[in-house]
Structure 1
Amino acid sequence: MPDRRPRGYQPDWQPRPATQELLAAVQLILGRYAAQLPLTIRQIWYAAVADGVLTRQERTYKRLVDVLGMARRSGRVSWLAIGDGTDPAVEPVAYDGPGGFRQAQLEAARGFRLDRQAGQEDRLEVWCASAGLVPQLATVTDPWGVPVYVSAGGLSGKRAAAQRAAAGGHSSVRILVVADWDPSGVHLYTALAEDVTAFAALDAPDVTMRFERLAVTERQIADHRLPTAPVKAGDRRSFPKAATTQAEALPPDVLAALVRDAISGSRDTGVLAEVLEREDVQRRALLERFPV
């Protein structure tokens, strides 16, 4: 039986009145969290539930996925407004000629940066269980030069964290973790901390590895009255509570503030200012090599 689902762009899509109302509500949500874009569809769904636009049922989430798919295909919602964690790719570097190569060099010089964590007591990393949240979190962490990684439990990624600790020139590394409050999220956090620490014991024996669950926590669930759900039937992994909460249930601006506060509260602003000043001087020197 042929697959009748829409493919490619759908400029002629004419949504029904009820769908138009849902899209209007989505646009309000995207406007409210403009500083945190791109949002994941799950974040939009939680916001729509909080606004009373949708009921908290899996069928309404599936409907939102379908509607936003068509909205993006038709141009009603910007492709840049939604992140789904499927963009990373490995592409060969190529230029259209020497002129293109030189332009790329100029753009690289304009974006020249030093290690903005140099000289700080701790080197920070943010790890997130949801790939779709990575671009959103990176917008917050970028000014401090703090990287964001997907904590999907990959063995190579954990070993790489230990190797970065060995090469980073810091006596301690602090890893801030954003994960769901459920058996999977708790297991992920524990496995990440134990595995990276074990790798670092050999790869970076002089570096102290520290881990902090930044979100979601029981306190945040209570403070922000986050929606909860029972533990999935059949999940026998150890979990201290009966109710679960997804990290994407946190409002995007609240999540951004948590990350921002955790980083800024541990940074020596004087050290960072010196790095930024050197960075600016060296960037200007690089740009002077390019004719106006």
Structure 2
Amino acid sequence: MLAAVELILGRYAAQLPLTIRQIWYAAIAEGFLIRQERTYKRLVEILGMARRSGRISWLAIRDDTQAAVEPLAYDGPDGFRRALVEAALGYRLDRQAGQAARIELWCETPGIVPQLAAVTDPWGVPVYAGTGFTSLSGKRAAALRAASGGHEALCILVISDWDPSGLHLFTALAEDIRAFAALDAPDVRMEFERLAVTEEQIAEFRLPTSPVKATDRRSFPGTSTTQAEALPPDVLASLVRDAISRRRDAAVLAEVLEREDVQRRALLERPPV
């Protein structure tokens, strides 16, 4: 199993760190495991031992079970000056400025947000996750962002599971943001698109499925369910990359990047505090 995991981590090196569930789905797709909860629990145990022993890098697997807030501190004035230089090196403008539509990516699964953010970062597209789908304040915040950006439209791309919850989350997200925008951003057009998971993707990539829960009475057009983490990480990255790039004006972005570079150089040329 560890040899299979190492093969999977090597294949998706560009998308690391992966969640354990992504590794599990990849192992199922490769035929290393069967889709049963006991195999997932066993994988969790084995990966824990492998990470403790040093066989699997701690940086290869994402673990979001701990939330922490640490105070900002420096090792002295020199450390503060180094932080200023690092901040200047990271200086950037709003890379969506001047575009007709502001794009946001919303993902039902918090664990893959950093993976998606690495894909969206060159365009300055933010990624929102998890509780935002059910948080009224999070939905209203999206409408307020639409109102303040000077864009003609707000385009929200959504990644959610193919199951009753995933589809209903998408519907509720679109309905609520449209309602808030009608008050807070009446002149901004609202656009919503589910990038994944779809029935076509399930068939194309032969994703593992589960039956719809008999106790779930919500309307659902499918006969089986699939989680977003079942999509191969490189496929997911490609879906996001293509969706954003076809909505961007490359010339407008190039002009923003040029100004960003000029201003960054000016910051670095100034003497440190």
Which bracket does the TM-score occupy, shorter chain normalised? over 0.9
Using the alignment, how far apart are the partners of 1:104 and 1:61 within structure 2? Answer: 42
For residue 208 of structure 1, the aligned residue among 189, 203, 212 is: 189
Q: 1:127 maps to which residue?
A: 106
Q: 2:45 maps to which residue?
A: 66
Using the alignment, how far apart are the partners of 1:239 and 1:282 within structure 2? Answer: 51
* Counterpart amino acid of residue 208 in structure 2: P
For residue 227 of structure 1, the aligned residue among 186, 208, 212 is: 208
Using the alignment, how far apart are the partners of 1:85 and 1:126 within structure 2? Answer: 19
Deviations 1:140-176 (CA, angstroms, capped at 9, x unpaired): 0001110111043222211211111111111201000
For residue 120 of structure 2, the aligned residue among 124, 128, 141 is: 141
For residue 172 of structure 1, the aligned residue among 129, 150, 153 is: 153
SS at match of 1:70: helix
Q: 1:54 maps to which residue?
A: 33
SS at match of 1:55: coil
CA contact (8 A) 2:29 2:208 kept: no
Q: 1:253 maps to which residue?
A: 234
Structure 1 residues 173 and 151: CA distance shift in structure 2, 3 A = farther
Using the alignment, how far apart are the partners of 2:271 and 2:62 within structure 1? Answer: 36
Using the alignment, how far apart are the partners of 1:201 and 1:156 within structure 2? Answer: 15
Using the alignment, how far apart are the partners of 2:19 and 2:125 within structure 1? Answer: 21
Deviation of 1:273 after TM superposition, in Å, equals: 0.7
CA contact (8 A) 1:39 1:83 kept: yes
CA contact (8 A) 2:24 2:43 kept: yes
For residue 280 of structure 1, the aligned residue among 261, 264, 269 is: 261
Q: 1:75 maps to which residue?
A: 54
Using the alignment, how far apart are the partners of 2:264 and 2:65 within structure 1? Answer: 33
Deviations 1:161-220 (CA, angstroms, capped at 9, x unpaired): 111111111120100000000011011111111111111111211111111000001111
Using the alignment, how far apart are the partners of 1:233 and 1:102 within structure 2? Answer: 60
Deviation of 1:88 after TM superposition, in Å, equals: 5.2
CA contact (8 A) 2:117 2:127 kept: yes
* TM-score between the two structures when normalised by the length of structure 1: 0.89
CA contact (8 A) 2:28 2:208 kept: no
Report matched runs for 1:89-104 at 5 Å.
Answer: 89-104=68-83
CA contact (8 A) 1:174 1:211 kept: yes
Report matched runs for 1:27-42 at 5 Å.
Answer: 27-42=6-21
Deviation of 1:58 after TM superposition, in Å, equals: 1.1
* Counterpart amino acid of residue 225 in structure 2: T
* Counterpart amino acid of residue 163 in structure 2: D
Q: 1:267 maps to which residue?
A: 248
Using the alignment, how far apart are the partners of 1:90 and 1:237 within structure 2? Answer: 39
Which segments of 5 or more consecutive residues in structure 2 lack a partner in the other structure?
none
SS at match of 1:116: coil
* Counterpart amino acid of residue 194 in structure 1: E
Using the alignment, how far apart are the partners of 1:88 and 1:125 within structure 2? Answer: 24
* TM-score between the two structures when normalised by the length of structure 2: 0.95
Q: 2:84 maps to which residue?
A: 105
Which segments of 5 or more consecutive residues in structure 1 lack a partner in the other structure?
1-21
